[in-house]
Structure 1
Amino acid sequence: MTAVKPGDVEALIRRGPDPRIAVLLLYGPDTGLVFERAKRLAEAFVSDPSDPFAMVKIDGDTLAQDAGRLADEAGTVGLFGGNRTIWVRAGSRNYAPAVDAALKAEITQARIVVEAGDLAKSAPLRTLCEKSPKALAIPCYPDDERTLADLIERTLKENGLGIAREARDVLAASLGGDRGASLSEIEKLALYARGQDTVSLDDVEAVTSDVAASVLNTLIDAAFSGRSADVERDYRRFRHEGMDPSVMLGSALRHALTLLSTRLAGEGQSASMMVGNWRGLHFRRKATVETQLARWSPPALRHAIQLLQEAILACRRSSHELSHANASSTLLRIASEAARRR
């Protein structure tokens, strides 16, 4: 078995996977973390990530139509020699046969990095990579305290900065479960502290906002609390501000996943006790989220998650106008279901 434990992932990326491993599968509910880790692994294998001959990007749907293309790409010699990375982005169709064909081929100077979604344990792609000695299946779950502390120190170090322990702990407590949002906050802090040697607690308090209290939470809380009128109002506002529909749906999906994991972990507990265990939840949202936890059952949340996943995929395949219509109707459908459960 070549499944990697979540706690070992960062150490694996830092030291680099065994060069004999041909396929690296990254999967999980945190799409920002999946992308960030895939990018690091893809770029680390080649001398110039901006070289299109060294860094080849392929959509999963393309591979679903041509199962032999991935193996062909991995076996192709670069124009100027050297290592090549084949970066596969997730699609809506099953491209496991293409990965299977690549694992059966002889690959020497290429690395295949597969950026997938939240794969179930029985998913063909995950099963294939976990069983193959030539692949690694790397899970990407929301950051815990240790991972966040490592992310903070590593990102600031790349910007020539250290951070005081107290400041690091306060910063980690303010970050949410989305890797992309966390990185944005840390990089903003690094920019603010440029010219210093160390980031202090005053710097953290002056710059960082609570990611869990992001502006999109007004829309998300309205949907999962059953306030359809507020969903319509907030959606119109965010659309007018240029917000991408898939971003709004992605935020709703992460919230639904967190609601579900909190419900499952707190089985037998009251909603108020579960809220107390919700790491990074802004105090102003606690009453609203407590109501949501009491209202939504695990089966209902799984259905909402399925609706959101399908809507995100539809947005990728639709025009801008259709994407907004689809995203809006999905959030209103969730709000309707939440109101029915009142």
Structure 2
Amino acid sequence: MKLNAKQAESFVRSPDPAVRAVLLYGPDAGLRRERSAALLAKIVDDPADPFAVSELTGAQLAEDPARLADEAAALVFGGGRRFVRVRDAGDKATATVKDFLSGSPGDAFVVIEADDLPARSTLRKLFESDKAAAALACYHDDSRSLEAVVRSFFADAGLAIGRDAVAFLSAHLGGDRELTRRELEKVLLFKGAGTGEVTLQDVEICVGDSALLSLDDVALATGAGNLPALERAVARSFTEGNSPISLLRAAARHFQRIHAVAGAGGAVDDAMKRLRPPVFWKTAAAFKAQAEAWRPAQLARALERLLEAEAACKRTGAPAETLASRALLEIAANAPGRRRRAG
């Protein structure tokens, strides 16, 4: 069966006992790992028990298709349900998984992890159509889902969080769920569980100098038309684990905020003060210069190019890093500030 985002979260919290296998697929590797770990904790009493948990790869299944059924049928010392995880799977595993679902012995719970799979994928179609299986897409968080992740994380720790702090974190996180949680844990460690409200100042202190702000460097360099700085920022962002789509979305958010300021009328400084989250003080001067330089038609073209690049990156097998880098460089090469300096 095919689960939407809301159904997927509910399933991870309480797996359907009739489901024998789950497919976790999509571009957010951190979210795949998070959901896999959450399912493991629900199925197995002791996730560290080597007799209750089996790890396989797609390559191992290709070499020995019977391995899945053998691992699933193995008994757990002391009783309980066995958990079988298959990493880096693809359509080559479809026939093997189909045989397992059709009646292999044992009550093991199987999790198949795969990269982004197109709608035509035979493995994805199998999980979406079989009543004993479930397909959970793992896509990058958008602003709405990321706000929910942030609020839920601090609520679980007994902390309230201010609206500005949520907005700031939502603007700087989201490229990978695992990376997002590491940054939230950094804020929690700084603030301490159950000690009041997390403020904008708290998150700026913790996240302000983090690797995630390399996304700001990408956006600012793109808007400024600074090609050397953009090349350095893009390389650094990829090295630090940011996805190509997260770079494109960071640039899009930046241009949307510039558009909000440039189109507000009146003084740019006053319009900037109304932005939520507020402009980070270290980059306020650069942001103001870009808001004064870019025109609405230019911003619209830049945003359209970013959307085209994101769609291209989502195609299976596409060279996402190359496509994202090319789009950012093209926008930067046509930035009004760059043309003015060149003149």
Give the alignment's TM-score, normalised by structure 2.
0.68
Counterparts of 1:143 and 1:339 in 2: how far apart (Å)?
24
Task: Identify the residue that residue 86 of structure 2 maps to in structure 1.
Answer: 88
1:66 to 64, 67, 71: 64
Which one has a bigger Cα radius of gyration? 2
Kindly report which structure 2 residues correspond to 1:13-32, keeping only aligned pairs within 5 A, or say none.
Answer: 13-14=12-13, 16-32=14-30
User: Secondary structure at 1:34's aligned position in 2?
Assistant: helix
Task: Identify the residue that residue 6 of structure 2 maps to in structure 1.
Answer: 7
Q: Would the alpha carbon gap of residues 17 and 122 (structure 1) be closer, same or farther in structure 2, given more than 3 Å must change?
A: same
Task: Identify the residue that residue 324 of structure 1 maps to in structure 2.
Answer: none
Task: Identify the residue that residue 317 of structure 1 maps to in structure 2.
Answer: none
Q: Which consecutive residues of structure 1, in runs of 5 or more, have no partner in the other structure?
A: 263-268, 313-326
1:252 to 244, 251, 260: 244
Tell me the CA shift for residue 34 of structure 1. Answer: 2.0
Tell me the CA shift for residue 128 of structure 1. Answer: 0.3
Tell me the CA shift for residue 80 of structure 1. Answer: 3.8
Instruction: Tell whether 2:177 aligns with 1:177.
Output: no
2:186 to 180, 185, 188: 188
| Contact 1:68 1:101 (C-alpha < 8 Å) held by counterparts | no
Task: Identify the residue that residue 44 of structure 2 maps to in structure 1.
Answer: 46
Counterparts of 1:177 and 1:235 in 2: how far apart (Å)?
17
Equivalent residues, number? 303
Task: Identify the residue that residue 283 of structure 2 maps to in structure 1.
Answer: none
| Contact 2:165 2:277 (C-alpha < 8 Å) held by counterparts | no
Tell me the CA shift for residue 213 of structure 1. Answer: 5.7
Aligned-CA RMSD value = 4.5
Tell me the CA shift for residue 230 of structure 1. Answer: 5.2
Give the alignment's TM-score, normalised by structure 1.
0.68
| Contact 1:212 1:280 (C-alpha < 8 Å) held by counterparts | no
Counterparts of 1:223 and 1:306 in 2: how far apart (Å)?
24
Counterparts of 2:198 and 2:324 in 1: how far apart (Å)?
43
| Contact 1:30 1:141 (C-alpha < 8 Å) held by counterparts | yes
Task: Identify the residue that residue 121 of structure 1 maps to in structure 2.
Answer: 119
1:100 to 98, 101, 119: 98
User: Secondary structure at 1:94's aligned position in 2?
Assistant: helix
Counterparts of 2:19 and 2:30 in 1: how far apart (Å)?
24
Percent identity, aligned pairs only? 28
Counterparts of 2:89 and 2:179 in 1: how far apart (Å)?
23
1:112-153 deviations in whole A, cap 9, x for unaligned?
112222222221111100100001111223334553344234
Instruction: Tell whether 2:150 aligns with 1:140.
Output: no
Counterparts of 1:3 and 1:34 in 2: how far apart (Å)?
16
| Contact 1:119 1:126 (C-alpha < 8 Å) held by counterparts | yes
**Larger CA deviation: 130-139 vs 206-215:** 206-215
Amino acid paired to 2:244: A
Q: Would the alpha carbon gap of residues 102 and 252 (structure 1) be closer, same or farther in structure 2, given more than 3 Å must change?
A: same
| Contact 2:52 2:81 (C-alpha < 8 Å) held by counterparts | yes
**Larger CA deviation: 169-178 vs 218-227:** 218-227
Task: Identify the residue that residue 75 of structure 1 maps to in structure 2.
Answer: 73
Q: Would the alpha carbon gap of residues 306 and 144 (structure 1) be closer, same or farther in structure 2, given more than 3 Å must change?
A: closer
Kindly report which structure 2 residues correspond to 1:167-246, keeping only aligned pairs within 5 A, or say none.
Answer: 169-170=166-167, 172-178=169-175, 179-194=177-192, 196-201=194-199, 202-209=201-208, 214-215=213-214, 218=217, 238=236
Tell me the CA shift for residue 101 of structure 1. Answer: 1.8
Counterparts of 1:174 and 1:339 in 2: how far apart (Å)?
21
